[in-house]
Amino acid sequence: MTFALDLQAKTPLLDALRSYINNPHAGFYTPGHKRGEGISQSLAELLGTRVFRSDLTELPGLDNLSAPEDTIQEAQALAAEAFGSEKTWFLINGSTAGVIAAILATCSTGDKIILPRNVHSSAIAGLILSGAIPIFVNPEYDSILDIAYSITPQAVAAALAKHPDAKAVVMVYPTYDGVCGDVEAIAHLAHQYNIPLLVDEAHGPHFTFHPELPISALSAGADLTVQSTHKVLSALTQASMLHLQGNRIDRDRLTKALQLVQSTSPSYLLLASLDAARQQMALYGKELMAETLRLADEARNQISQISGLSILKTAHTPGFVNLDRTRLTVTVSNLGLTGFAADEIFAQHGVLAEFPSMEHLTFIISLGNKQADIVQLVQAFATLAKQYKAPSLRMSQPRVRNLAQIYNCYEMPLISPREAFFAATETLPIETISQRISAELVCPYPPGIPLLMPGELITPVTLEYLLNIQAMGGKISGCTDPTLRTLKVVK
């Protein structure tokens, strides 16, 4: 990636905020705390007051996020150059807003869209809001490690051949565990049908900035990608970006879709953090990622030498062509522990994982981590392995031998997610809902793939697996009753 470093050193949004901070005036605009003067004392004691001086609204010189013409437009143009897109939009409602907008921009009611089963719940929200009909493709699944990989080009090709009228293909790249599928091949397949590839690249905004990281989705041919700048770079939580290239997506429609799902009162703290994160990566990204990779490799090498532990490595299958080395997934089940139990033990040692699952703990190593963090992480694993020596013991647990069996073998729901969402529903005991149509999204961990979505048939096999996962300590999200005593079904 090459760009003009003198231009990338600019921070138009930060500069505009700095100008307002240094310009005393009587403010009669939102927000009500008036640049920190009226902030709660308890909040001021926690955070100080200076940050609130930058908590401003769309004032002259600060531009308008919905229709940028000045400061925001310049900041977004710099981000487009840095991340390799033709056009970039700042997102202050997280990547969720970007994923929903991408579906709204490409699909209307009744249109088909091809998605992986391990899609984020924001994509399901996009289906509900757009009325699009999902064509689901199961990701590759490692039943030994109990980890879902990516969808394969072969599976996408089969879905496109069967549904040539699909309006778009969606891909998750990378997965939560850092698994990267063949985005280049899938982009090529989508383009053969003259439809766009939309990529949920929430966990991959750093890929652009170091050659030892996986290829970025845009570089591999994706038409649109949504990145959570806050997840692995330095923006504030909830700050993300949407990048676009090519002409397969109507830019005006995408802009209008974003206006539907973004706040009309954007946080300039979030916007400025995006501007600063872009500048930081443009100027120092390669250096920062080199150090991040060094720390990740050090952790990977040391932990892999501890008896009873193993670390996820690239499998070189159609659903796993590369691995983000800054994502560390450690299998702890050979110690006789679930990832949930290990996570609780680690918390006592002052080490917090990103994501526990049945057999694993997953850690994000980013530019904010330091050498001391790696030392503490390795020591926590060494202590854990000494306390729980059970190398021959495997956790007894249900395993997904065939994802299609668990997901009812249906590539399409019986009714659309939108129909199910707006349908009359009833809440019933879980023992009585087999063969009913789900009105809820139910996502268990593991394997972290929604087991039920609105509009899908509930089968005995799915219910049995879901209850087994819960009994083993898995977490259930998305549904009204997380205890799973009841579920909402279409009336």
229 and 201 Cβ atoms separated by less than 8 Å: no
CATH placement of domain 289-387: 3.90.1150.10
CATH 3.40.50.620 fits 7-283, yes or no: no
pLDDT of residue 259: 97
Residue 455, phi-psi category: left (phi > 0), alpha (psi -120 to 50), beta (remainder): left
Pairing of strands 224-227, 240-244: antiparallel
Distance from C-alpha of 24 to C-alpha of 21, rounded to nearest angstrom: 7
Residue matched to tokens 């757009």: 130
pLDDT of residue 407: 57
4-13, 168-177, 277-286: range with lowest mean pLDDT:
4-13
pTM: 0.94
- The DSSP annotation for 314-375 comes to ---BTTBSEE-TTEEEEE-GGGT--HHHHHHHHHHTT---SEE-SSEEEEE--TT--HHHHH
69-83, 209-223, 347-361: range with lowest mean pLDDT:
347-361
The band of 141, judged by pLDDT with boundaries at 50, 70 and 90, is: confident
Eight-state DSSP code of residue 152: P
Eight-state DSSP code of residue 18: H
pLDDT of residue 477: 81
Q: Which residue has the higher pLDDT, 317 or 162?
A: 162
Q: What is the pLDDT of residues 18-67, one digit of tens each?
A: 998 888 889 899 999 999 999 999 999 999 999 999 999 899 889 999 99
Mean pLDDT of 316-329: 95
pLDDT of residue 96: 95
180 and 140 Cβ atoms separated by less than 8 Å: no
**Is the per-residue pLDDT at 447 higher than 60?**
no
Mean pLDDT of 427-447: 86
Q: What is the pLDDT of residues 385-426, one digit of tens each?
A: 999 975 544 444 545 445 555 655 456 788 999 999 999 999
Domain ranges in the chain? Answer: 7-283, 289-387, 403-490
Q: Considering only the top CATH level, what class is 403-490?
A: alpha beta
Mean pLDDT of 192-212: 98
Distance from C-alpha of 201 to C-alpha of 213, rounded to nearest angstrom: 14
Distance from C-alpha of 91 to C-alpha of 102, rounded to nearest angstrom: 12
Distance from C-alpha of 469 to C-alpha of 450, rounded to nearest angstrom: 13
pLDDT of residue 113: 98
118-127, 175-184, 404-413: range with lowest mean pLDDT:
404-413
123-137, 181-195, 232-246, 440-454: range with lowest mean pLDDT:
440-454
Give the chain's mean pLDDT.
Answer: 91
- 10 Å Cβ neighbour count for 357? 28
